[in-house]
Amino acid sequence: MSAASSLLSEDQFLCSICLDVFTDPVTAPCGHNFCKSCIAEHWNTCDRCQCPMCKEVFTIRPDLRVNTFISEMVAQFRDKAQQEAGSSSSEQQVSKPGEVLCDVCTGTKLKALKSCLDCPASYCETHLEPHLRASRLKRHQLIDPVENLEDRMCTKHDKLLELFCKTDQTCVCMLCSVLDHRTHEFVPLKEEYEEKKAELGKTEADIQQMIQKRHLKIDEVKRSVDLSKEDADREIAEGVRVFTALKESVERGQAELMDTIKEKQETREKQAQAFIKELEQEISELKKRSSEVEQLSRSEDHLHLLQRVQSLNINEPPPKDWTEVTFSPKSYEGTVVRAVAQLEETLREEMKKLLDAELKRVQQYAADVTLDPDTANPSLILSDDGKQVHHGDVKKKLPDNPERFSKCVCVLAKQSFSSGRFYFEVQVKGKTDWFLGVARESINRKENTPLSPEEGFWSICLRNRNEYKACADPPVRLSLKSPPEKVGVFVDYEEGLVSFCDVDSAALIYSFTDCSFTEKLLPYFSPCLYDGGENSAPLIISPVSVK
């Protein structure tokens, strides 16, 4: 339209009601021009007949006729504009599926460049030009093209939604603000837009932060899987090494056993062959003598017989007395037992190596554990550093706070654990009774509760100087080779494992497996009663020293 606009003023041919080029232009008595249909519809909807431009009121509705001069000028303007539109339309982008279309284009619809909130309509580049040139249209609010501009109009009053009702949290028009929402709080859409945009920005930042945290968690899980795989590979390699060594030891023991038995049997066979050979030689000599004796006994020559008898030495004793010689079957009893005993010793040595390695591994999860005085039974005495506890044989007056054990002579640690692994060591040397383990945070601290996993306790104990038990349901009696002086406690929260070991011998005492942990766990200690001083030694939380 630029060529047509260079000859004719475009503002002269725009209807102030529809803001488009005149269609059947008519002139009001005040001199202002409008589309015939636009001014007729305007007066039909108004209470009085008034010029939309100068607001002049007509007592009688004018009988308007088409202004032929302006109509001819508009026709020339339209022809020129259509020629230019035809030449430039090929240069404009034809709309694609899903794009907003120009509301003015006839025939092939072009892609809308902007949408006008005041009109409301969407315009391609050609039909947008009046909004860029005409002074009245420049005041209109243009936005990126959007569909369904009718959604931006108030369905009740057919006016542009310009305000936001903060009371009802909805968009309203000017009429809504003075009619249906007159007592409500309003702000311009732009103000609410800026506020909501800021909130969305913060929300987006929060979401991005959550995404980042989850990416970090994914990385953490992946690292955990990698570490777990490394541990699994290391355990498999160690298992293969141990079982290969045991297999070789068994095979070697079997070969040595067979060689020993074969060697003994060969020696026995050689001894037997030597005996047989000697006996066969004597038999041969005796047969020879028997033959001579038989021949001599048949002789009838008295002189010859008497002379030969002296040379035969018939009355001489035999070369060897075999009556005392015995040759019983060789016994191999105990040979296999000794071989298996040697294999057992090898297995014991290998087990000792494994237990030492396992103890070193769990000691890497050592936690700094200290006793919590707020949980201690009033009869217990704690050291200042929170590392020792013993029964004082006197009940102190202390606040009966919810955390404190009232009847059970025990105490919990300050530290709690709800994930991962942890380990601590406790010296039990010199005691005749004690309990040791971990407990749920929610255990009953005011009554004498059975110490079992069902009640939230996983512990072992010493009773009556030499009775070791695992506090299960029912209790499990433990057979230990030697009394432990220092007990290690290891917990793997995710695996549901609580293990106890003799630190000095690296021997496993007992393990609770397949436990279900759903809340915080705390180390649990009970030095038991004073027992007239027999059990006065303290339980001591020892610093972990890797062997």
| 4: pLDDT strictly greater than 70 | no
Location of structure tokens 């939380």? 541
Give yes or no for a contact between 359 and 375, defined as CB atoms under 8 angstroms apart: no
> Per mean pLDDT, which range of 80-89, 97-106, 340-349 is the poorest?
80-89
Give yes or no for a contact between 498 and 508, defined as CB atoms under 8 angstroms apart: no
Give yes or no for a contact between 260 and 334, defined as CB atoms under 8 angstroms apart: no
Phi, psi at 542, each rounded to 5°: -95, 145
Average model confidence (pLDDT) for the chain?
Answer: 86
| 523: pLDDT strictly greater than 80 | yes
Given this model, what pLDDT does residue 413 score? 97
| Axis-axis angle for helices 335-363, 189-297 (nearest 10) | 160
Q: How confident is the model at residue 83 (pLDDT cuts 50, 70, 90)?
A: low
> Per mean pLDDT, which range of 359-363, 368-372, 540-544 is the poorest?
359-363
Beta bridge partners of 232: none
Given this model, what pLDDT does residue 315 score? 57
Most confident of 93-107, 269-283, 345-359, 526-540: 526-540
Percent of the chain with pLDDT over 70: 90
Most confident of 93-97, 318-322, 527-531: 527-531
Given this model, what pLDDT does residue 76 score? 79
| 8: pLDDT strictly greater than 60 | no
| 366: pLDDT strictly greater than 90 | yes
The model's pLDDT over 29-62, given as tens digits with 9 standing for 90+, comes to: 888 888 888 888 888 888 788 888 888 888 888 8
185 or 157, which is more confident: 185
**Hey, what are 59's tokens?**
């007592």
| 82: pLDDT strictly greater than 80 | no
| Average confidence (pLDDT) over 471-485 | 93
| Average confidence (pLDDT) over 65-80 | 80
| Average confidence (pLDDT) over 487-491 | 97
Q: How confident is the model at residue 303 (pLDDT cuts 50, 70, 90)?
A: confident
**Hey, what are 181's tokens?**
């929402």
Given this model, what pLDDT does residue 515 score? 95
Given this model, what pLDDT does residue 143 score? 84
Given this model, what pLDDT does residue 94 score? 58
* DSSP labels, 147-195: S-GGGGB-TTT--B--EEETTTTEEE-HHHHHTTTTTS-EEEHHHHHHH
| 327: pLDDT strictly greater than 80 | no
| 488: pLDDT strictly greater than 70 | yes
| Average confidence (pLDDT) over 180-198 | 89
Q: How confident is the model at residue 1 (pLDDT cuts 50, 70, 90)?
A: very low
Q: How confident is the model at residue 330 (pLDDT cuts 50, 70, 90)?
A: low
Rg (CA), the chain: 56
Beta strand 467-470 with 476-478: parallel, antiparallel or unpaired?
Answer: antiparallel
Q: How confident is the model at residue 107 (pLDDT cuts 50, 70, 90)?
A: confident
| 181: pLDDT strictly greater than 80 | yes
| 89: pLDDT strictly greater than 50 | no
Given this model, what pLDDT does residue 92 score? 52
| 533: pLDDT strictly greater than 50 | yes
Given this model, what pLDDT does residue 6 score? 45
